[in-house]
Amino acid sequence: MLRSFPTGDRNCYDIDMSSGGKDKKYFFLENHKKYLVRVVLFYGNYDGLDNPPEFELYVGVDHWTTTTVGRGEEKAYEVVMVARTETVSVCVVNTKKGTPYLSAIELRPLGDGGSSLYAAATEDTCLRLVARHNYAPLTEKKTR
């Protein structure tokens, strides 16, 4: 489901997992633990302008990236971060180059293995996905 943000310069989703969610079936967001945050964008001309917008993504107050998604293209932006609080904010900032939108937000705990695999991610430093390549695919199927 697409969510657009036609008003405001900065709009945020605050993901608060301190209580485990309304029905207590979700995981708890814990301080000092590592998480993968993924934002998925798909511009299918939802606004009828046939012009994909450009806007900025932030995790809290930290700049993540400036989006560039073509028409009919799906793009995932990923960051590995250490939770500093029990709330993670994913924000879009309007750069006046079209209406910001989000197709999906995912938050995944990396578990104990994330500590060694993503050792460079600290409370002061996030790891941002720059590129992902499959140099010898057996099939054209994408796997997440």
The pLDDT tens digits of the residues spanning 95-123 come to 999 999 999 999 888 877 677 888 888 88
- Among the listed ranges 38-47, 83-92, 134-143, which one has the minimum average pLDDT value? 134-143
The pLDDT tens digits of the residues spanning 32-66 come to 788 999 999 999 888 888 999 999 999 988 999 99
HSE value, Cβ hemisphere, 13 Å, CA-based, for 69: 27
Rounded to 5 degrees, what are φ and ψ at 87? -130, 135
CATH architecture of 3-128: Sandwich (2.60)
Nearest-angstrom CA–CA distance, 79 and 60: 12
For the chain, give every domain's residue range: 3-128
pTM equals 0.80
**Chain mean pLDDT for the chain:** 85
Determine the distance from the C-alpha atom of residue 117 to the mean position of all C-alpha atoms in its chain, rounded to a whole number. Answer: 20
